[in-house]
Structure 1
Amino acid sequence: MSGKIVGIIILVSALIAGAALYYLQIYGFYEEVAAPDDGVALVSLSSGQPEPIPTEAFRAIDADSSPIRYRACFETPFSLALLTETYQMVDTDVSPRNAPGWFDCFDAEAIGADITAGTALVFLSEKNIAFGVDRIVAITDDGRGYIWHELNDCGEKAYDGTIVGEECPRRP
């Protein structure tokens, strides 16, 4: 009889822990955030500095638990032709990270498919927004835009244990 009670206690504890873990991963750490004060910025080809672009319908989420949890969606009137002539594109392989299901404007699989198909182009918004993390912006041919954070070379080295080297900035 006492073995059944112990088993039930273990089972109930496991269910509560599983539910808590699910909640924390999907809802608990995320919060909706306002648009940055300077708006959505892309790195200019001429100045090498981030410059704001016009946006509408901006939505974003972030979490303090990790520098790569930022996701945002917006719309811009700028064409891809104008963007490619004015702003720095990302020439490495990037892949949008999944967002929680409740943040329905950001579908990482669809964004990745648009990038692969060439109907979305990828731009650099800010280098080292946090140590080893770049802010990436993808914009589709119909003006929908998506933002996420991606580990850069320094971040990948730092987080996998490889020696970082002099080309990486000092970690704060």
Structure 2
Amino acid sequence: MTGKILSIILIVSGLAAGLAMYYLQVYGYYDDVTARPGQDVMLLPIGGETPEPIAYGDFTAIDADSSPIRYRACFTTPRKPAELAQLYQLSEVRAPRNAPGWFDCFDAARLGAALRDGAAMAFLAEANIEFGVDRIVAVTEDGRGYIWHELNNCGEKAYDGTIVGDECPPRPDAGQ
């Protein structure tokens, strides 16, 4: 009888831990981002170092303190990708990171296909928004926009253990 009780306790504990882990990964750490009108959607001008705001509306975003690459946002804009490409730096990113399934406006698979097919263009919004992480903005022909964070070359090296080198800025925690 004791063996059955211990087995039940182990099974229930395992299920509870699995459910808690799933909830924390998919829902638990995300928070809604408070919109800051005129500051939420910015792009880096060609040859510039300071991002500039573009016209946008219907902004919604989520973020999590647990990782710098969990930021996702959606918006609309009257600006066309070709018009923006004349003024702002393009990004080579063609595969956005997935968003949680409950964040309905951000469909990474559809956006990735639009980026590869030329129906959308990706722009650099800000380099090293956190060490090794760039903010990417994509705009589609129909005026929908998406924002996410992507590891840049320095970030990929830093997180996989490769020597970062002189071309990367110093890590903020390097002196601690």
Structures share fold, TM-score greater than 0.5:
yes
Which stretch shifts more, 95-104 or 140-149? 95-104
- CA shift for structure 1 position 36: 4.1
- CA shift for structure 1 position 19: 0.7
- CA shift for structure 1 position 94: 3.8
- CA shift for structure 1 position 49: 2.3
Distance, in Å, in 1 between the alignment partners of 2:100 and 2:16 is 21
Distance, in Å, in 2 between the alignment partners of 1:36 and 1:111 is 24
Distance, in Å, in 2 between the alignment partners of 1:127 and 1:46 is 13
Cα RMSD (Å) = 1.1
Paired residues in the alignment total: 171
Distance, in Å, in 2 between the alignment partners of 1:46 and 1:132 is 20
Q: Is the 8 A contact 1:94 1:150 kept in 2?
A: no
- Map 1:1-172 onto structure 2 (within 5 A): 1-36=1-36, 38-90=39-91, 92-172=92-172
Distance, in Å, in 2 between the alignment partners of 1:169 and 1:39 is 25
Q: Is the 8 A contact 1:71 1:106 kept in 2?
A: yes
- CA shift for structure 1 position 162: 0.2
- CA shift for structure 1 position 95: 1.6
Distance, in Å, in 1 between the alignment partners of 2:62 and 2:76 is 16
- What are the Cα deviations for residues 2-44 of structure 1, in whole angstroms up to 9, with x where unaligned? 1111110000000100110111011110011023462310011
Distance, in Å, in 1 between the alignment partners of 2:128 and 2:82 is 26
Question: Does the residue aligned with 1:14 lie in a helix, a strand or coil?
Answer: helix
- What are the Cα deviations for residues 69-102 of structure 1, in whole angstroms up to 9, with x where unaligned? 0000000101122101111101x34421111111
What amino acid is aligned across from residue 119 of structure 2 in structure 1? T
What amino acid is aligned across from residue 72 of structure 2 in structure 1? R
Distance, in Å, in 2 between the alignment partners of 1:17 and 1:36 is 37
Structure 1 length-normalised TM: 0.96
Distance, in Å, in 2 between the alignment partners of 1:109 and 1:143 is 18
Distance, in Å, in 2 between the alignment partners of 1:109 and 1:164 is 31
Identity of aligned residues (%): 63
Listed as ranges, the gaps of 5+ residues in structure 1 are: none
Structure 2 length-normalised TM: 0.93
Listed as ranges, the gaps of 5+ residues in structure 2 are: none
- CA shift for structure 1 position 118: 0.8
